[in-house]
Amino acid sequence: MAHPSPRSRRVTGALLSCCTGLLGLLYFAVPGTLSGPFVLWPRTRRRALAVLSAGARRITELERIRRSVFFGDVFPAHDTSDGEVLRYLAVRAYAGTLFGFVVALLGVGVVLAGLLMVGVARATTSWQELLTQGVLGGVLLFLDLQGILSLGALDARSAREHFGPSERELLERRIAELAASRAGVLRAVDVERRRIERDLHDGVQQRLVALAMLLGRARRNRTPEQVDLLLRQAHQESQEVLTELREVAWRVYPSALDDLGLEEALGGVAQRCGIPLRVEFDLPVRLSRPVETAAYFVVSEAVTNAAKHSGATHISVSVKGDARGVSLCVRDNGTGGADPSGSGLAGLRGRVDALDGRLHIDSPSGGPTTIIAELLCA
């Protein structure tokens, strides 16, 4: 058995909207008119509106079925108020009745065009009359088709506003969000790679060059006292190289995060911070690895940005949550004015968006700056 094409289904659904629009008009004309006095009387207004909207909900349910069967719209179930139901039914009654009137005019135009062609075939219609009627009919046909398209768009828009976005629209929106999140993560990773390369090139590499120069001078020097001094300097330089290398490795990924957990890793952030940092930690369960890693880097990067750019004298970090999610709050008493679209905060947003989290930034001019990240564990 042949299935109707999508276009024919949409045409059928559009024609059925005339019937549902007329049904809504009759509902307002008969039950709506009868319940009018009870709606106007304050004592019975609430009960009358509840009864009136109960019938309106049944008609709007027919609209939902029509949009689903003939247009492929699948709307997630959600509650709507009585006023919203009545407003939607009023719009549908107006649009559906007007759509039926426009379709009827189109049918009348088709009949008149057929009679005109019969007249031409029988030579009872002159060419001047044919030209005049053809131009007039073409203009009316254009206006009629524009009315049909506009009313169809109004039908789709009013259904979307009342029933909510369809599952297809939600899926398309979700795909767009995931694409943007993926691009943000790639940008954050690229920025992180460049930072690591800069730290290694400008820090560790330069110190290793200085260490090599000290050892070279010690090999060439013949004075024992000078050789001993150069070796002590080389030893000191090697200690500083190891310290800086550990710092770089910690910024790449702290081993304490795997061994001791998030609380100890954040303790390391507090120890390395150049200004006083207080950490309040309240997590009864261990987070999953991706969430725990993201939480660490969000706090670490927010603290680093505050220490470098805010001019703050104190930073507080709060980590709270449960098995469902975790909330991170980083607050400093600096000068504020942080740009949410800046490279540092954009990297934080990319990490949070990658886990379907939310990032809130409040940084008025003059301070303080508060950054709140909410991450889901499920």
**Ramachandran region, residue 25 (left: φ > 0; alpha: ψ -120 to 50; beta: rest):** alpha
Last residue of a domain, one of 252, 278, 313: 252
Q: Which amino acid is at 306?
A: A
Q: Which range has the top average pLDDT, 77-81, 241-245, 286-290? A: 286-290
What CA–CA distance (Å, rounded) separates 303 from 315?
7
Quickly count: other Cβ atoms within 10 Å of residue 240's Cβ: 14
What CA–CA distance (Å, rounded) separates 156 from 102?
17
What CA–CA distance (Å, rounded) separates 284 from 33?
61
5 pLDDT band, cuts 50/70/90, is: low
Q: What is the CATH number of the domain that holds 304?
A: 3.30.565.10
Q: Which two tokens stand for residue 252?
A: 């790449």
The verdict on 205 and 151 lying in the same domain is: no
* pLDDT score recorded for residue 215: 82
What CA–CA distance (Å, rounded) separates 217 from 191?
38
Rounded mean pLDDT, 255-273: 78
* pLDDT score recorded for residue 343: 64
Q: Evaluate whether residue 1 is within a structural domain.
A: no
Comparing CA positions, the residue from 179, 327, 199, 292 lying closest to residue 252 is 199
Alpha helices in the chain (DSSP H): 6-29, 31-34, 36-40, 42-71, 82-121, 127-163, 167-199, 205-220, 224-252, 255-259, 262-272, 289-305, 343-353
The verdict on 304 and 356 lying in the same domain is: yes
Number of domains in the chain: 3
Q: Evaluate whether residue 172 is within a structural domain.
A: no
Last residue of a domain, one of 132, 164, 196: 164
The verdict on 228 and 292 lying in the same domain is: no
Q: Does pLDDT of 147 surpass 80?
A: yes
Give me the phi and psi of 319, to 5 degrees please: -125, 115
Q: Which two tokens stand for residue 102?
A: 């426009």
Rounded mean pLDDT, 68-74: 81
> Distances from the Cα of 23 to the Cαs of 55, 61, 95, 264, in angstroms?
11, 13, 12, 67
Last residue of a domain, one of 193, 220, 252: 252
The verdict on 338 and 357 lying in the same domain is: yes
Rounded mean pLDDT, 179-195: 66
The verdict on 29 and 158 lying in the same domain is: yes
The verdict on 223 and 348 lying in the same domain is: no
Structural domain containing residue 294: 261-376
**Residue 138 C-alpha from the chain's centroid:** 45
Q: Does pLDDT of 4 surpass 60?
A: no
The verdict on 236 and 270 lying in the same domain is: no
Could you report the per-residue pLDDT of 109-134, keeping only the tens digit for each?
888 888 778 777 777 767 777 788 78
Q: Evaluate whether residue 170 is within a structural domain.
A: no
Instruction: Calculate the average pLDDT of the chain.
Output: 80
The verdict on 226 and 296 lying in the same domain is: no
Rounded mean pLDDT, 40-58: 85
The verdict on 155 and 300 lying in the same domain is: no
Q: Which range has the top average pLDDT, 3-12, 16-25, 157-166, 209-218? A: 16-25
Regarding beta strands 277-282 and 325-332, do their DSSP bridges make them parallel or antiparallel, or are they unpaired? unpaired
* pLDDT score recorded for residue 285: 80
